Structure 1
Amino acid sequence: MRLLEKIIESAKNDVKKIILPEGTEERTIKATEKIIKEKIANIVLIGNEDVIKSKANSLGVNIEGAIIVDPIKSEKYDEYVNLFFELRKNKGMTIEKAKEIVKDEIYFGTLMLKNGDADGMVSGAVHTTADLLRPGMQIIKTSPGTKIVSSFFIMDVPNKNYGHDGILFFGDSAVNPNPTAEELACIAISTADNAKALSGVDPKVALLSFSSMGSAKHELVDKVIEAHRIANELRPDLMIEGELQLDTAIVADVCKTKAPNSRIKGMANILIFPDLQSGNIGYKLVERLANADAIGPICQGFAKPLNDLSRGCSVNDIVTMVAVTAVQAKTK
């Protein structure tokens, strides 16, 4: 059983309530039918109920069992307005402004999650990443002890010689353009914890660079070395090493030559890229040239599970991200 199948089975074993705020969107409606039919999660669709049901009927889709919530008509509307006002009043928020903002489906869904009325949320079929992250940072905020929201991809590579039986975790490949050493350390720790929670792997984390254990001198290398120091100071229980070149991190024979004292021994299953350029390019190269399946980006660092979709996502992508979010909710 591949990792995605395990994640879906895990979601089914402890069914969570997941919000899909883009309730009138066609792929979202189709995904809702599949999620409900397969009992992956309980779904909350946000939007005008008549529009959602009419669109479902026109698509020939059965969404019976989904909870449909219209922000304006919701009995929770005033409660969420007051909650948002309290959270943001020190930033100049007024009740009048809050009343308008809470009508927005993304903000309403985020407040629903904050209030404990659902377990997770997935958005992005028609909204941008910023549309999700902005209310997420304003309302959900980061987990205790976590200073940065980041992301990772699960890469399922056909060549089983790499990672954990072909499964690797790439971070951060979607959110932070140029993380500091401290932020890199945080990304490494968050990705390790999430990888273990989602897959049960024993995390072996490589902080990637163009240098392996001092083979090159540069300020870019220094940042990765410092990230390694901070990560190990914060979480000595985790196996985190750096700086390592990619081949040193994942090829045992190369590691013996370039980093003979490595504890990872060329068997890294979590790869932390030094910046967003390399992370984004890296996952797309592996996806295209190695014919790997890329699941993500999966957000991490929020106090409650919030996940983004590509606006080019498929119905199956939505189903997958709902399952991932449901499993993440088990640890929150």
Structure 2
Amino acid sequence: MGLIDQLLGKLQRHPKRVVFPEGHDPRIIQTARQFVTRRCGVPVLLGDRAEIKERARRLDIRLDGIRILEPDRSEDFEIFRPMIDQHPKYAEASDEEKQRILLDRHNFAALMLENHRVDALVAGATMSASSGLRSLFRFIPTQKGVKSASSMLILDQENPNFGLNGLLFLADCGVIPEPNVEQLADIAVSTARIAHHLTNEEPRVAMLSFATNAQKIVHPSITKIREARDIARKRAETLHLKCQIEGELQLDAALSPLVAEQKGLPGDPVAGHSNVLVFPDLNSGNIASKMIQLVAGARTYGQIIIGLDKPCAEISRGAHSYDIFGTAVVTACQAIDRRLLYSNDSETVTTESL
């Protein structure tokens, strides 16, 4: 059973509200219909109501159970306006500029998420990642103890010999071009936290490199990875996050027990058994993730934005509706308290127990 099938049952028991800023996109309308049909919660589509209805009619998609919201006609518009006025970035902006900023659907969606009008956000269907991310980073704070937000891609493929029965978490594949030591540590711990939240399994984190357990440091990047590994281990311990973090490791040594043994790491809890892969920079992470998607044809979900205080995702403009739906399910499940997400179905979890 794939990850999405596993998460669907949990989301059906604890449905969530997910906002999609690009509500007019046909793939988003299809995703919203699936979200309702599968009893996952309430999708909120931002955009022109008439345009969305017309596109849904052409697609022969029913809109019952789907909420359509026009920001300029929303009762939240005047509630959110003071937040723009008080935002330090817009201190010198004119009233007209502030009005335009609030009417931007990505900004409005981020404010909805920050103000608990919705539980999760999925954007990126029609615009570049950098444009969509700006809205998230402006209005959604980072988690306590996290200095840098980044991103994670979930790879769900059929070979059970890799990762967690075919499931791999890849980071960072979409945000930080050249992460420093502290940022690499943030990426490792934030990805491990979400991997644990979604699977209830112990994350085994490989800090990837062109070398494996090098006896001689031949490049500064190896030193950086080792320092990040040590910081990440301490942060995980502070957060009481049970996980294994190792590096530097080459990709084959991270995923293949045979290669790990050949490279002098027999019995290592991470080498050969990794389910979280942390790339040294955005070049390697983005190239690897795109290659896997196109060449291997594996299911991928994301980019899931990690390190922020609220669940959100920035999908690729080339994403298919099934991948967008899977990303919405993953993002919505992040909003479920983990004690509910993995409580025994026969148990009743009360508010007092949380």
Q: Give me the TM-score of the superposition, normalised by structure 2.
A: 0.88
Over the aligned positions, Cα root-mean-square deviation in angstroms equals 1.9
Residue 281 of structure 1 and its aligned partner are, at CA, apart by 2.0
Residue 305 of structure 1 and its aligned partner are, at CA, apart by 1.2
Flag the 1:233–1:259 CA change in 2: closer, same or farther, 3 A: farther
**Which letter maps to 2:60?**
G
Q: Equivalent residue of 1:242, what SS?
A: strand
C-alpha contact 2:301 2:324 (8 A) present in aligned 1: no
**Which letter maps to 2:146?**
T
Residue 75 of structure 1 and its aligned partner are, at CA, apart by 1.4
Query: What is the CA–CA distance in structure 2 between the aligned matches of 1:293 and 1:56, rounded to whole Å?
Result: 26
Query: What is the CA–CA distance in structure 1 between the aligned matches of 2:63 and 2:49, rounded to whole Å?
Result: 12
Query: What is the CA–CA distance in structure 1 between the aligned matches of 2:196 and 2:170, rounded to whole Å?
Result: 14
For the pair 1:16 / 2:16, whether they are aligned, the reply is yes
C-alpha contact 1:84 1:111 (8 A) present in aligned 2: no
Q: Equivalent residue of 1:102, what SS?
A: helix
The residue correspondences of 1:188-227 to structure 2 (distance < 5 A) are 188-217=188-217, 218-227=219-228
Query: What is the CA–CA distance in structure 1 between the aligned matches of 2:67 and 2:265, rounded to whole Å?
Result: 56
C-alpha contact 2:299 2:323 (8 A) present in aligned 1: no
Residue 222 of structure 1 and its aligned partner are, at CA, apart by 1.0
Query: What is the CA–CA distance in structure 2 between the aligned matches of 1:94 and 1:142, rounded to whole Å?
Result: 28
Q: Equivalent residue of 1:193, what SS?
A: helix
C-alpha contact 2:169 2:191 (8 A) present in aligned 1: yes
Query: What is the CA–CA distance in structure 2 between the aligned matches of 1:247 and 1:58, rounded to whole Å?
Result: 48
The residue correspondences of 1:121-160 to structure 2 (distance < 5 A) are 121-160=121-160
For the pair 1:297 / 2:303, whether they are aligned, the reply is yes
**Which letter maps to 2:47?**
G
Identity %: 35
C-alpha contact 2:84 2:90 (8 A) present in aligned 1: no
For the pair 1:329 / 2:335, whether they are aligned, the reply is yes
Residue 318 of structure 1 and its aligned partner are, at CA, apart by 2.1
In the alignment, what sits opposite 1:66?
66
In the alignment, what sits opposite 1:235?
236
C-alpha contact 1:19 1:120 (8 A) present in aligned 2: yes
Flag the 1:264–1:114 CA change in 2: closer, same or farther, 3 A: same
Flag the 1:305–1:211 CA change in 2: closer, same or farther, 3 A: same
In the alignment, what sits opposite 1:100?
100
Q: Equivalent residue of 1:72, what SS?
A: helix
Query: What is the CA–CA distance in structure 2 between the aligned matches of 1:195 and 1:265, rounded to whole Å?
Result: 18
For the pair 1:249 / 2:254, whether they are aligned, the reply is yes
Query: What is the CA–CA distance in structure 1 between the aligned matches of 2:293 and 2:27, rounded to whole Å?
Result: 23
The residue correspondences of 1:108-127 to structure 2 (distance < 5 A) are 108-127=108-127
Residue 93 of structure 1 and its aligned partner are, at CA, apart by 4.3
In the alignment, what sits opposite 1:316?
322
Query: What is the CA–CA distance in structure 2 between the aligned matches of 1:291 and 1:78, rounded to whole Å?
Result: 46
The residue correspondences of 1:170-189 to structure 2 (distance < 5 A) are 170-189=170-189
**Which letter maps to 2:147?**
K
**Which letter maps to 2:189?**
I
Gaps of 5+ in 1: none
Q: Give me the TM-score of the superposition, normalised by structure 1.
A: 0.94
Residue 30 of structure 1 and its aligned partner are, at CA, apart by 2.1
**Which letter maps to 1:35?**
F
C-alpha contact 2:222 2:248 (8 A) present in aligned 1: yes
Gaps of 5+ in 2: 339-354
In the alignment, what sits opposite 2:276?
270
Query: What is the CA–CA distance in structure 1 between the aligned matches of 2:124 and 2:303, rounded to whole Å?
Result: 11
Q: Equivalent residue of 1:330, what SS?
A: coil
C-alpha contact 1:84 1:139 (8 A) present in aligned 2: no
Q: Equivalent residue of 2:103, what SS?
A: coil
Structure 1, residues 207-232: CA drift from partner, whole Å, max 9, x if none?
01112222442111111111111111
Once structures 1 and 2 are overlaid, which stretch shifts more, 2-11 or 82-91? 82-91
Query: What is the CA–CA distance in structure 1 between the aligned matches of 2:178 and 2:221, rounded to whole Å?
Result: 11
Residue 90 of structure 1 and its aligned partner are, at CA, apart by 7.1
For the pair 1:284 / 2:314, whether they are aligned, the reply is no
**Which letter maps to 1:8?**
L
C-alpha contact 2:49 2:69 (8 A) present in aligned 1: yes
Query: What is the CA–CA distance in structure 2 between the aligned matches of 1:263 and 1:56, rounded to whole Å?
Result: 50
